[in-house]
Structure 1
């Protein structure tokens, strides 16, 4: 007789889709301690009870062509029951049954029936067998009566859906326990005050802990529902339990009472529709194999050990282990007399042991600290325990050396000069300058500045290019007691005027030719030096200075349309130099930088060498973007340390001999996110080279955190590291406020304190007050932290990892840009009604895209808009792409929906495009199209009007050298910025015919299919080319 086959019930089918065939190896297990029992009677009771229920004799069978198993009643039991004598008079009963058939509620019902059977009482025959229920549930789920329930779960199901793990290995789980002494009366009392069961209060607190762990609101957390809400199902043994999703709760701005009420309402609604949860919710990904459930969080509820007497014996149900749905983290709790034992089962892919311990500590802290007042703010619920808080502060606090008397950097330079006046302070292709010569020249120039009325709190501008004279100017201004403001000589005149006016500058040091960029209202002191002639023997000026006197002013992009003047004091600059020399081991080394004088990025390679007996290597401007010239200069100057942005370094590494552009000892990258592959690439090129990722906004003085390539890091990410000794960092819960740190591993807003925090924004107290905030953790009066606006987290290894911005600020090739400043400048154009500026691309390919709405009746010319901005902004802040739009997409709040705008790359537009004709023109156009990410480049399109810059030009020149074996230098490229003119230059001269022939061959290969390429590679060499090698027009 053929056994009747039944389909899986929806909870079973769902488990199958979620676990796959791994479900066959999972059991629901129950442990019972029995005192004073007769062992034979106990075994008989177990056998009799399990025999009453078909579910314990059910097995799964697989039919060809059927994706899901079917179930049928078999003769043999699927239950494994063991009775072990633990000690005299004490037995341990363990029962295990397949998890696909039996759930935790079944185990509790089974326990009650075994006790009753042992006691000899009457046990009524089960009203319903599970297979009957399974069939009924399947019919009900498919009926129209369940339409409302299905619609509910479509709105409230698990999101995002699970994805297949690419590890190929089954998920590994571990378990941790934590006892919370005395928690039971406290939690039960608090729950009564909120008019909910204790189980529900613990669920609400767990949802908040999970939200803090992930750093966001609305995190879905699953709760186990027993599927027996109908009276007919109350005593059914079988797989009815399932883990169902509940919507997340807010972590700020609402009272605790509202949070608990929201959780209670969500539980009630989910319970109402629990029978309608689709069993095939994960079917779409089940075929992918092992699924990654590390992002799912669950709650299995609270329970108390059950104790019942029977015929002189005492039965205690001490443990139940079930599998109600895979989770990255599953919390359960167990009451004892007055305590609460928390158990966290976690996937090792979702958390390690330390993270799991911290989660349990946070939950315990929040439960004990949960307020009795239902109107208390949920944001004030304590969550980080003393152990975790101490660990966070230990990692993020700097470790300053013994406090030394204040000594400004120029005084340290003077001390180095006295120590070794003949040591080389500056080195360039023009020769060496000793400490003694540099000091004498700086003293003489400082004397002239003092005669002109400079002193503490006055600002002197520097209109100087990349040269030894720049270093001289910096030292002279500091020696005169004033603060320096380095200008970008290439900046638009009106921007220079804005900066001079904002900083209150009346005097400037200027190299020959640069003085013409300065307004007439500013007095100019010429900066002309005969380094190798007879130096004046002027003594060191001794201008009295206080630690809080101004040292320099630098401008950063401003979101309101006006650049912000950052005021850095002597105390902060001196602290940075001391820390970075110690952390990076810079004493006595030769350092160089590619950074512009108007940026503090390069100060790592300027002040530390001068203050520690090292040498500043001054790279020529023509070397910065030509890998071949750069390599020659780095070698000639003996550069040990190079400070550079990652995108600039990657562009140089694309040259013909990448290893030669590297310094001898150390590369320090900063100014933008470091790609994960860069340190690995450098390790292959120069195994001896150290690589340091250096992070820090201008407002915290050059740099604040460092990570070195030998430090711990998770795969695929490069941290920004740990604070320098003079810095105290904090990652705060930006959903709550400045006074509350984010939990370890949770994302938050990065704030920086310590002795590197700048004075603020010069002359802008309101703006300063919004970003420079009182430090609630410091005992020092007036201590402040700078709110960086960056999101970060503390990694498992204890390193700070940069996650992105909390606002719209972007970095393009190391330049910090507030899109609002560019938008404000664009909206000054008479044809522009509204503009939104966004970043596109990464690294050397990073650029700005402007989405522009025209004034009605006006047309927009991208080339004209670019020229308009070049007259107002530095070139790095001018968008590469101008995208005309009729209107901007808006959010319900009325703000622009930036996510709805396309991330475009393209060209600025220079009129009608003429397509390339010759093979050389076609190849060059293809190179440009790849660099700019556009579909078509005309032969007369200007490279720089397309959005090109020095780094992208370096990429083009490297490709030309690689393909044609010809070197194009920067003067040639800048003089021939179109495909037509550059192609003509490449085929000119004696090598022209050979280059043209190479272009024809390259173009032919570019247009071949795979078969033709294979034939071409295998073809014997001959003077003529086969017909199929001819370029296709």
Structure 2
């Protein structure tokens, strides 16, 4: 029979770890292991005897948790325990097999965990690896021991062991018991701590995001969910860092804190950084240095970063901020979180930094003698997504422990490299400003800036586009040039009609770089008009007849167009302007080209303007983007080579006339002798009709705006289809094709400011699973950089703004000098004078293989309750679900002050539980605040005339849109009682039977209150883990019925009342526990 000799309360840290265990968390969390390699004869009997003697000396080694039948969880000290020992003999095994078996043993012992109410919470495995080599695996629960305690215990074990070998006993000084520390904690001033922490965290309302992207790995983690990377800094660098710390009057620990804060700042872009640090907490209680138990505490450190600050002075400020922390380092983290301004259920931080002056191995080997031949390796992991561990030996050892469910191995390896580079910069440049400290290694910077931008290709000397079309008219005059609207035109006819139009334009005053408005729909006349403008020496300005009159009037006035080209049936809708109006209808004799006369050729330069296309502007007025012939020539040369354009190719013209994609649809083909085919309006909007039309016309290359392309990919393609390349772009491509296509699919990206297309990537069904297709790599003679706000390259996987430069770049905005200076900047990476970059405003990231992934617009980033959110990241996660074809996430504020995320979905055969599944999918990858409040299912997304998503037309969510079932009333007495309990705890008026507890704002404290009230009202002992496993009223009621039906299910007093009432429970993020180490 177990004899309990002492019982006392838990420390706050112990309470948090107990909560984690009771709530069904990862069994391997808070399991600590030490592997001792002993290359000496080992008397196993005496060794085990030594461990037993040590356990007799220290109550914590004979302690257990007790939570049943007590008013509050306690720790019991058992009079005697028998340490579990397993012995293994592997002397006959090959070295490789020994290593393999030992790794399996480590994993087994860690995942096995402990029964928290059974002492001792430790066990041993003795492996005889060779005649004189033993491996000792000591596995413990972190709830009773910290790192200092393990160091003390190993010394005691070998002191007794060596005495026993000599046939003697030994007496060691007996330290103070752990209960003294618990008693001391009870005397702390809570009010003073509250004031301090509220001051520290004032205004802090959002946790520092861990925005590092996953690589292209499968979503579901196989095997071990935790990973570790480490790097050992040289003695020279470590010494330099210590020197730098002394100069700044800070500890090496504080310097490392500064480096980690800078890394988080560079990764997420925030200047107010908070992460956790672990404090030893042994300095206040007399004799605490020799006590065995759990003393550490993890608390938030808030670091404000001014990129213009000088390093040493900033480190001194960091020290000044932490001077008062020592007086409050024992404050329970859950109370700190409760005193903060963060919304309930949200963690204060997701990464922690742990500093230890020495590794366990270094501490023990420093004892000398036989210790110098022994090796000790400490293993363990926390419940945080990211833990940085630093050991301040002669050569600083840095480790990052991480959750593989949140981070890929390669991502963390790069992160560790960036931390090392920051430290190297801090050591070498104490006078540097924070913004100038390097983050990337030289090799990585060279890769991002130079190697991935080696795009130089020697094309023929640039020429004007219409000259290339004229050559085709001379080579193949009777070949089909274009077809649409029931009419066809040959190259000769197209050239002659354009020539005649050019003559009329000249008489109207059109000359070099004159602007001519083209007010036409998609048609052969549009092609004639553009060619005619170019032949006359001018540049065209496309104006969509569907535009509002006010927008058309602004464009005509802004460009001071000399002439407006249109057709008779459109002319009446033209707003009045100073521009002359010419009709280009095919029946108009003056422009039909039958005279055969050719204008006197004026010398033209490829640097002349080809067109000015207007794009939307943030001021309410569109902005004009002028593009030269030379820029368009580069685009044409690339396109013709990349897609092997031949005269027998048949291409499409589908984009609206004012969309710059129409430029790309036409001129790479008419300059190569191919033909362009124009479908009617109804066909271009219907995926089924489009597929049939493409097959009937034997189209070989076609550009379709992204939404239309995604739709046609789901259609059945006739075997008669001749399509060999489907090009898409204009919006984010969300998914890869589900099966192999009979043609190539290529995704394109590019702003109007860089001549239509800037990057491209081929998309296959065999691409990375669950990953949105990238936008690829820069085109020949173009450059692409992903930079932070200080124009520094960001690491692979980290979001930044895309900047573009090269041969296709516009000179700026028409009549907008101030905006041009803001958006078109000097290229800091090119030596040639005048090199510029365009700031796209698009948020992207480099992928490891060198492709660029589009994330969204920077101006689409939103803040809700102070939380910065990138909707594109959520969209990418949602589209991993097989039933979701397309997804858009926006922030809506339909009720003033009530801003929330809304996800819009286009689905295919969605399951009834789709919304619940999507919420779970999002929660598995990102914080709770990024879970949309509502999900709206649509048949199709609204589109603009150019085929892009029309965000303004997305409907307001209806009541109950957050659930596919709405708010369904509880069924039965148990559900009704549970719903009332939830309403009481969550302060809500009503709760539906399918509403998710954590979606409604529940957290760990509230979860334990629910468990307590279930025991009182329903007379049922409900384990806390059941609420996490069944977080809806209906599912939890079903579990209660099962529990009641089990034999011996008599109600017991709720053990978690104390945790719930005293506030000593850790926070919970959504339906995932966030236990505070």
- When normalised by structure 1's length, the TM-score is 0.69
Contact 2:283 2:289 in 1 (8 A): yes
**TM superposition shift of 1:611:** 2.4
Task: State how far apart, in whole Å, the 2-side matches of 1:161 and 1:500 are.
Answer: 46
Match of 1:212 among 263, 266, 269: 266
Distance 1:781 1:526 in 2: 45
Aligned CA distance change for structure 1 residues 159 and 584 (closer, same or farther; 3 Å) = same
Q: Distance in 2 between matches of 1:949 and 1:118?
A: 76
Aligned partner (choices 753, 759, 776) of residue 811 of structure 2: 759
Separation in 2, partners of 1:480, 1:269: 77
**What does residue 699 of structure 2 align with?**
639
Q: Find the counterpart in structure 2 of residue 360 from structure 1.
A: 416
For 2:755, the equivalent position in structure 1 comes to 701
Counterpart CA distance in 2 for 1:293 and 1:667 is: 46
Distance 1:246 1:497 in 2: 57
Alignment counterpart, residue 732 of structure 1, candidates 787, 796, 806: 787
Q: Does residue 1:442 correspond to 2:498, yes or no?
A: yes
> What is the CA-CA distance between 1:309 and the residue it aligns to?
7.0
Residue of structure 2 in register with 1:98 after alignment:
141
Q: 1:220 to 1:661 in 2, by over 3 A?
A: farther
Please point out which of 591, 604, 627 is paired with 2:664: 604
> Structure 1: how far apart are the matches of 2:699 and 2:565?
28
Residue of structure 2 equivalent to 1:174: 227
Question: Counterpart of 2:355 in 1: which secondary structure?
Answer: strand
Look up the SS of the partner of 1:606 in the other structure. helix
Which residue in 1 is equivalent to 2:578? 521
Counterpart for residue 283 of structure 2? 229
Q: Which residue of 2 aligns with 1:456?
A: 512
Asked whether the 8 Å contact 1:331–1:343 carries over to 2, the reply is yes
Structure 1 residue 553 displacement after superposition: 0.6
1:238 paired to 2:297: no
C-alpha separation in 1, matches of 2:889 and 2:255: 50
Aligned with 1:428 (options 476, 484, 502): 484
Q: 5+ residue gaps in structure 1?
A: 284-290, 811-841, 852-882, 890-898, 906-928, 934-942, 957-1033
Alignment pair present for 1:344 and 2:396: no
Counterpart CA distance in 1 for 2:423 and 2:900 is 44
Does the CA-based 8 Å contact 2:731-2:948 persist in structure 1?
A: no
SS of residue paired to 2:330: helix
Correspondences of 1:927-946 after superposition (within 5 Å): none
Match of 2:878 in 1: none
Deviation string, structure 1 residues 46-101 (Cα, Å, up to 9, x no partner): 66445422323335578589997965424213555678899999987664433332
Matched, 1:12 2:14: yes
Kindly state the Cα deviation for residue 449 of structure 1 after the two structures are TM-superposed. Answer: 3.2
Counterpart Cα distance in 2 of 1:446 and 1:202:
70
- How far residue 779 of structure 1 moved from its aligned partner, in angstroms, is 2.3
Match of 2:872 in 1: none
Task: Find the partner of 1:136 among 180, 183, 192.
Answer: 183
Cα distance in 1 for partners of 2:954, 2:617 equals 31
Residues 37, 312 of structure 1: 8 Å contact kept: no
1:76 is aligned to 2:76: no
Asked which structure has the greater RCO (Cα within 8 Å, sep 6+), the reply is: 2
Q: Is the 8 A contact 1:511 1:528 kept in 2?
A: yes
Is the CA contact 1:568–1:759 (under 8 Å) kept in the aligned structure 2? yes
Contact 1:773 1:784 in 2 (8 A): yes
SS at match of 2:568: coil
> In 2, Cα distance between the equivalents of 1:157 and 1:107?
38
Who is 1:745 aligned against?
Answer: 797
**What secondary structure is seen at the aligned counterpart in 1 of 2:33?**
strand
Measure how far apart 1:485 and its partner are: 1.1
**Closer, same or farther: CA 273–469 of 1 in aligned 2, 3 Å:** same
Aligned to 2:59: 54
> Which of 560, 566, 569 in structure 1 is aligned with 2:628?
569
Structure 2 distance, partners of 1:484, 1:492, is 20
Cα 1:107–1:631 change in 2 (3 A) is closer
Out of 297, 321, 332, the residue aligned to residue 389 of structure 2 is 332
Residue 249 (structure 2) pairs with residue 195 (structure 1): yes
Question: Can you list the C-alpha shifts for 1:945-980, whole angstroms capped at 9, x where unaligned?
Answer: xxx99999x999xxxxxxxxxxxxxxxxxxxxxxxx
Following the alignment from structure 2 to structure 1, what is the Cα–Cα distance between the partners of residues 566 and 512? Answer: 21
Structure 1 residues 248 and 15: alpha-carbon distance in aligned structure 2, compared to 1, 3 A threshold? farther
Give distance in 2, aligned partners of 1:170 and 1:8: 33
Describe the superposition over 1:870-917 as per-residue Cα deviations: whole angstroms up to 9, x where unpaired.
xxxxxxxxxxxxx9x9xx87xxxxxxxxx8599999xxxxxxxxxxxx
- Structure-1 residue corresponding to 2:540: 484
SS of alignment partner, residue 664 of structure 2: helix
CA shift, 1:506, in A, is 1.4
2:181–2:285 CA contact under 8 A, matched in 1? no
What secondary structure does 1:621 align onto? coil
Q: Are the aligned partners of 2:207 and 2:347 in contact in 1 as well (CA < 8 Å)?
A: no
Q: Aligned residues, how many?
A: 827
Distance 1:98 1:846 in 2: 45
Deviates more, 1:528-537 or 1:241-250: 528-537
Within 5 Å, which residues of 2 pair with 1:467-616? 467-516=523-572, 517=574, 519=576, 521-529=578-586, 535-538=594-597, 542-584=601-643, 587=646, 589-616=649-676
1:392 paired with 2:448, answer yes
Where do 1:988-1027 residues align within 5 Å?
A: none
CA distance in 2, matches of 1:507, 1:476: 12
**Bigger mean CA deviation after superposition, 687-696 or 363-372:** 687-696
- How far is 1:436 from its partner? 2.9
- Relative to structure 1, the CA distance from residue 81 to residue 580 in structure 2 (aligned partners, 3 Å threshold; closer, same or farther) is same
What are the equivalent positions in structure 2 for 1:280-295 lying under 5 Å apart? Answer: none
**CA shift for structure 1 position 390:** 2.6
Match of 1:466 in 2: 522
In structure 2, what is the Cα distance between the partners aligned to 1:507 and 1:46? Answer: 97
1:805 alignment partner in structure 2: 857
Partner of 1:381: 437
SS in 1 for 2:293: coil
Structure 1 pair 747/167, CA: closer, same or farther in 2 (3 Å)? same
Question: Residues of 1 paired with 2:238 and 2:189: CA distance?
Answer: 43
Aligned pair 1:306/2:306, yes or no? no
Q: Distance in 2 between matches of 1:310 and 1:949?
A: 70
Q: Which moved more, 1:239-248 or 1:177-186?
A: 239-248
Alignment deviations for residues 800-843 of structure 1 (CA, whole Å, 9 cap, x no partner): 22333333699xxxxxxxxxxxxxxxxxxxxxxxxxxxxxxx99
Whether 1:127 aligns to 2:175 is: yes
Match of 1:28 among 13, 26, 32: 32
Distance in 2 (alpha carbons) for counterparts of 1:373 and 1:844: 48
Q: Deviations over 1:530-555 (max 9, x none)?
A: 69988454558754333322111112
Q: CA deviation at 1:598?
A: 1.6
Change (3 A) 1:401 1:269: same
Cα contact 2:197–2:336 (8 A) shared by 1: no
Shift of residue 14, structure 1, vs aligned partner: 1.5
2:786–2:803 CA contact under 8 A, matched in 1: yes
The answer on whether the counterparts of 2:776 and 2:853 sit within 8 Å (CA) in structure 1 is yes
**What whole-Å deviation, never above 9, does each CA across 1:677-716 have from its counterpart, x for those lacking one?**
5x44xx46x8425443322211111121223322855625
Structure 1 distance, partners of 2:721, 2:17, is 56
**The 10-residue stretch of structure 1 (187-196 or 644-653) with the greater mean CA deviation from structure 2:** 644-653
Question: SS at 2:489's partner residue?
Answer: strand
What is the CA distance between 1:255 and its match in structure 2?
3.7
> How big is each residue's C-alpha offset from its partner over 1:368-399, in whole Å with a ceiling of 9 and x where there is no partner?
11167777421111111112213323675262
1:620 to 668, 674, 680: 680
Q: Tell me the SS of whatever aligns to 1:742.
A: coil
Q: Could you tell me whether the CA contact under 8 Å between 1:16 and 1:23 is conserved in 2?
A: no
Matched, 1:721 2:776: yes
Would the aligned equivalents of 1:34 and 1:313 in 2 still touch at CA under 8 Å? Answer: no
Distance 1:591 1:238 in 2: 76
- CA distance in structure 2 between the aligned counterparts of 1:389 and 1:848, rounded to whole angstroms: 34
SS at match of 1:383: coil
Q: Distance in 1 between matches of 2:51 and 2:948?
A: 81
Q: Which moved more, 1:481-490 or 1:517-526?
A: 517-526
**Residues 485 and 553, structure 1, Cα contact 8 Å, conserved in 2:** yes
* Map of 2:1075 onto structure 1: none
SS in 2 for 1:513: helix
TM-score with structure 2 length normalisation? 0.67
